[in-house]
A and B are shown apart, each in its own frame.
Chain A
Amino acid sequence: MSEAALRLDHVSKSYGGAPAVRDLSFEAPKGRIFGFLGPNGAGKTSTLRMVLGLVAPSSGTIEVLGADDGRKVRDRIGFLPEERGLYRRMTPAQAFDFFGALKGMKGGVARKRGLTMLEDQGLAHAFHRPVKALSKGMAQKVALISSLVHEPELVVLDEPFSGLDPVNQQSLERLIRGLADRGATVVFSTHVMAHAERLCDKVVLIARGSKVFDGTVSEARAAAPQRLVLEGDLLSDAVSALPGVERVASERSDSGGWRHVADLSKGASANAAVKEAFLRGLDVTRFESREPSLHDAFIVLTQDQEAKAQ
């Protein structure tokens, strides 16, 4: 097992008696991309703030890059808040100088490195333009580069894809992969599962301040049921009677028949269900076995937590 860049041990945080994070424990391995997932208000930002040392936990311990407080290693951490985190009147050149200097870099070095990273993103023309004149996607990349010019060992990104169009999201994903390739640990929070699915080696899912899952993306997917889609002139009762089918959701298809989406029970085989459908002579015109996505796992796991809370 690789060494952890970040380790939380039974961490809780309350604000005025209201719990925001409850008994949270997990590890983020060094040099990997770690997804910190959860619905809005789950406690992701509170946790990241504790990791950075901006607020103290009410109980539990946090170890960041071997230190017991994020503030002690702040020069080795890069942080991008949920929104831009840039002065509107600053140019990217000034931003790289300023934020780099705060992390202990000499102005010229931070500026040069920032320019190189900006060139890699095809944004060199924006180097001397004020942030307020940049598009949201460009500004987000500038903000991210500002948090990376000092080449941090741990990069903490709070909802980095928020408000970006698909092209910019893809470009940002490439940038994040590049960070891990050079050995940095990336911890990012999001409630959009597609990014985590494509990027993360490991994810932690929290809901209502508590951890509901901790593992790899494929392990998370396994928590959600496999799905079988059947289309044709057949009724939902017939689909429900197939082996391994737990639930069925039906709707009229465009061709005039029915479209049934069946959740299979754990360990059940989609092949066996399809084979049985044909053996029973059901009028199936199209079938599809669908692997559960992280999004499916997210919904199942958070719904379980909601149900427990109620």
Chain B
Amino acid sequence: MRRALIIARREYLSFLRTPGFWVSLMVMPLVGFISTTGPQMIARSEPPPVVVILDQTGLGPAGPGADLQRSLSRVDGHAPSASTTKAAGRPKAEIVAAPAELAAATTPKAAGEALLPYLSGRKSLPDGRSLSAAAIVFGDASSLKVDLWTPSPQVAGLSRYMPEPLDTWLRRARFRAAGLDPSLIDHIDQNLTDIRDFSPKAAGGRVSFADRLPMLAAVGLSFALWALVLTGAGILLNTVIEEKSNRVIEVLLSSASVTEILGGKILGGACLSFTMLGFWGAIGVFLLHRVDAGMLASVGAAFLGHGLIFWFAAFFLMGYLMYASIFAAVGSYCETPREAQTLLGPIMLLLTVPIIFLGAAISAPDAPLLKILAWVPVFTPFLMTTQVAAGAPFQDLALALVEMAVTTALVVNLSGRAFRSGALATERLSLQKILGKLFDRQA
């Protein structure tokens, strides 16, 4: 135990001093910050597109072009959505008056031909700016059409904002044609269907954001575990490769048992992972506290609800132990990171599976495939926490933990054997030979 602690201390301090550790520490918050604020920043930094609307319906100010102009020029008051490029306080487009030759065109075809020099960059608007798009509205109340011209097929974002104002105009025109009062539409549109979510698992019956929070927290923890396994086990792998290539591993083996060496390394790596987790957690708590203290309390309750944080800790321990020992064993057979990449390929592929299913867990935590995968030991540490949040029975979780403990014990035992034979191997070994050595008692 004393030797294991000495090795753990060295592992921890040596990596704490490397730039790579600090980069890893900062990357996660940075990625989180960029992924949440990036779309807004892009949208804010980009001026609204300059658009010309050519209404060829012949209806003048009462035509659909005017409604379209009002809608596109409107400044949205609500917060921006991550799924759109909308930004608060910014119109969807800046509508400018059509140059004379465009306004003079009476058919969509003629307007299209007149637009070509503007959209290909050969001609500018009278104020010197380039035209971003042009919408040619034509037809009548029975059949309204819009040709949207843009400089490139990739610039098509505006089309998503057009159906709503134009359909409203159409409905009003058709109401009038049917002899009805168009203001009825506004009346009818008031108090439409109110869909409410209820679940016996939700507190108070009705599903609220607070009820969805545990699953979000579980998925967040699983992602954190995934990142920590990759980081911690990756660090471990690199240390073992270094020790193998400069023969330190032989000195270690002559000074401590395999259990002490592996245990010390895994413990050191785990301490590094906990340092990262603590740092990320502190940043999260600080930001949540600054943004919404009530939300912080809700998140805290989500972590404690169903014992989520305790189950996470247990599965984290098993998962980390399992993957770290595998990575250490792989490292013991390699003298360069390139050799390790070949052996780690299948494991890395395996590790992508839970990431694919974690996203789906938010909307469908009870999906049968997810439930089955959560019982597969290599995925259990990542996916079983989602089942905790989904309210899986205690006995199921306890059984999964036992299964995980047995698997981890087996993997650690085999990894220890592999580590010993790999550490002393001087020739390059095939996968077949490595597997053979695992079960060779004399190795």
Residues of A in contact with B (beta carbons under 8 Å apart): 16, 49, 52-56, 58, 70-71, 74, 77, 79-90, 98-99, 101-104, 146-147, 156
Contact = CB atoms under 8 A, between A and B. Distances in A.
A98 B254 contact: no
Given A79-B254, A102-B6, A102-B255, A86 B424 contact: no
A77 B255 CA distance: 8
Contact of B247 (A82, A102, A146, A156): A82
B246 A83 contact: yes
Given A55-B443, A56-B442, A74-B255, 8 more contacts: A52-B254, A70-B254, A81-B250, A85-B250, A86-B246, A90-B14, A103-B255, A147-B251
B254 A54 contact: yes
Interface in B415-437: 424, 436
Contacts of A52: 253-254
B248 A87 contact: yes
Contact of A85 (B2, B248, B436): B248
13 contacts: A49-B424, A54-B250, A77-B254, A79-B250, A79-B251, A79-B255, A84-B248, A85-B246, A85-B250, A88-B242, A89-B14, A89-B18, A98-B10
Interface string B223-262: 0000000000000000000110011101111111100000
B3 interface: yes
Contacts of A82: 247
A109 to B, nearest CB: 14
Ranked nearest first, the 5 interchain pairs of A and B with the lowest CB-CB distance are A81-B247, A102-B255, A79-B254, A81-B250, A85-B251
A84 B246 contact: yes
A87 B6 contact: no
Contacts of A102: 3, 6-7, 252, 255-256
A88 B2 CA distance: 24
A74 B440 CA distance: 24
Contacts of A55: 424, 442-443
Interface in B245-287: 246-248, 250-257
Contacts of B252: 102
Contacts of B246: 83-88
Contact of A99 (B17, B242, B255): B255
Contacts of B257: 71
Contacts of A16: 436, 440
B436 A74 contact: no
A22 B106 CA distance: 102
Among B14, B250, B253, B424: residue with most chain A CB under 10 A: B250
A231 B345 CA distance: 68
B200 to A, nearest CB: 58
A146 to B, nearest CB: 8
Contacts of A70: 254
B242 A54 contact: no
Given A49-B424, A74-B255, A102-B255, A85 B6 contact: no
Interface in B175-210: none
Nearest to B421: A55
Nearest to B440: A16
Contacts of A104: 2
Nearest to B239: A87
Among A85, A89, A102, A147: residue with most chain B CB under 10 A: A102
Nearest to A150: B255
B245 to A, nearest CB: 9
B438 to A, nearest CB: 13
A99 B253 CA distance: 12
Contacts of B10: 98
B251 A58 contact: no
A266 to B, nearest CB: 40
Contacts of B2: 104
B70 to A, nearest CB: 66
A95 to B, nearest CB: 10
A55 B7 CA distance: 21
Given A85-B246, A85-B247, A85-B250, A98 B6 contact: yes
Contacts of B250: 49, 54, 79, 81, 85
A84 B18 CA distance: 22
A53 B443 CA distance: 12
Contacts of B442: 55-56, 58
B6 A101 contact: yes
Contacts of A85: 246-248, 250-251
Among B6, B18, B257: residue with most chain A CB under 10 A: B6
Contact of A83 (B14, B18, B247, B443): B247
Nearest to B257: A71
Nearest to B6: A101
